[in-house]
A and B are shown apart, each in its own frame.
Chain A
């Protein structure tokens, strides 16, 4: 299988703080990847760079065999134009920690509007797709509710449906249960587990839910200080961590 995502010596700093340090990462098409590690270790920054919400300082990121933050013009590699970024964004979807649903639109309008505006679908195509997705996330009875009328878990499921409606090749989940009350976490994770099992979309999730990471991922990456400390199948990494830093991190979750 081809790599759908490649990070080649990517560095990124916020002021003095180096969040990614010469990072190399390869993700295969269709792979489900879980990124774990202490806060501030750069996991979320990887997702935000892929979603083009954050620029890179150096190195190269490729998505689907094309540079993300650069483009080739007359065999010269130059920084990407807005047009190029827009083209690349089309292949990527993201679900945020804070849901970020549009509060002035109903649940179904949240899912329909991007399809109509960006994917140029007509009303009935967008509606059909939205209804199908609401069925999948188990919220068919809430389609006309506004976000503030929904619980956090329900809002997050709508946000997942909204991202899926755009048919991305790559889905990014950024700590999607961190803002939820504990009793609402499971309903969101159930949707994601099902999604990971049924879909061949490439998925990257940043999570602090180790049990979920174990079910969800083909591969788990342990991050610390802007670098990958250890990577492996969930079974290997969780039951047989090699590195001391991984061990001490995982101990906190047992």
Chain B
């Protein structure tokens, strides 16, 4: 089997469409994972023991089961119970919720790292809960979280081909469709791999640089 540039150029327009979907899915799912993760992290510090236990087991459950299984259940099983999602929506929901259980840990660690004295200083100045979070805790907690959060972004990006399993025509499925109808696998799949590398490697380098920068920053 030899590399054919003709095939490579032939598949490119379809791949380009797939790339757009891949990027969209990554962005929406990661935003969901960040917002939800922060919410989970804050709620996990709640005074209510019941809430903490429920959250603990829910997040453990989500984290300990494969994404592919979760995608199938939400996309193919929930409709039996009257809950329908469009493929793309279903994909970003599952991906976002799954990774929110990981980002929640990043947020929790970042928040835990803010010294107790900062909470006490805020209280002594009579800041309310909201003012304390917004003005004292999060501004200190978030910068060190950026590198691990960026790493999860890259991981989610790399997991998007899973959405192909529920009919989302992202980059991988676009290539797969071409391959199946033309019996050409070498060029489409190589290009998919190359594309992921082109995005992943610079992002990984950037994440590493961020990590170095925040490590140097002394508070």
Q: B117 to A100, Cβ gap below 8 A? A: yes
Residues in B with CB closer than 8 Å to A76 are none
With A96-B117, A100-B117, A102-B136 as contacts: A53 and B128 at CB distance below 8 Å: no
Q: Which residue of A lies closest to B120 (CB)?
A: A53
Residues in B with CB closer than 8 Å to A103 are 140, 219
Asked if B127 lies at the interface with its beta carbon under 8 angstroms from chain A, I say yes
With A86-B126, A96-B120, A117-B135 as contacts: A104 and B140 at CB distance below 8 Å: yes
The distance from the CB of A157 to the nearest CB of chain B, in whole angstroms, is 15
Chain B interface, >50% SS class: helix
Q: B218 to A166, Cβ gap below 8 A? A: no
> Scoring B residues 42 to 63 as 1 if CB is less than 8 Å from chain A, else 0, what string do you get?
0000000000000000000000
Q: A162 to B219, Cβ gap below 8 A? A: no
With A100-B121, A166-B125, A166-B126 as contacts: A148 and B139 at CB distance below 8 Å: no
Choose from B117, B127, B218, B219 the contact partner of A118 (Cβ within 8 Å): B127
A198 to B117, CA, bound (A): 29
Residues in B with CB closer than 8 Å to A100 are 115, 117-118, 120-121
With A148-B218, A148-B219, A166-B126 as contacts: A104 and B120 at CB distance below 8 Å: no
With an 8 Å Cβ cutoff, the count of chain A residues facing the other chain is 24
A100 to B125, CA, bound (A): 11
Q: A51 to B124, Cβ gap below 8 A? A: yes
Tell me which residues from 51 to 106 in chain A have a Cβ below 8 Å from any Cβ of chain B: 51-53, 86, 89-90, 92-94, 96, 98, 100-104
Residues in B with CB closer than 8 Å to A90 are 126
Residues in B with CB closer than 8 Å to A117 are 127, 131, 135
Q: A86 to B128, Cβ gap below 8 A? A: yes
Tell me which residues from 171 to 219 in chain B have a Cβ below 8 Å from any Cβ of chain A: 218-219
Q: A89 to B123, Cβ gap below 8 A? A: yes
Most A Cβ at <10 Å: residue of B124, B131, B135: B124
Q: Which residue of A lies closest to B131 (CB)?
A: A117
Q: A98 to B117, Cβ gap below 8 A? A: yes
Nearest 6 A-B pairs (CB), nearest first? A100-B121, A100-B117, A114-B125, A103-B219, A94-B124, A89-B126
Interface residues of B (CB under 8 A from A): 115, 117-118, 120-121, 123-128, 131, 135-136, 139-140, 218-219
- Listed by A's residue number, 14 A-B pairs whose Cβ atoms lie within 8 Å are A51-B120, A53-B124, A86-B128, A90-B126, A93-B124, A98-B115, A98-B117, A102-B135, A102-B136, A103-B140, A104-B139, A113-B135, A148-B219, A162-B125
A100-B121, A101-B121, A102-B121 known, 7 other contacts, Cβ within 8 Å: A51-B124, A89-B123, A89-B124, A93-B125, A102-B118, A104-B139, A118-B126
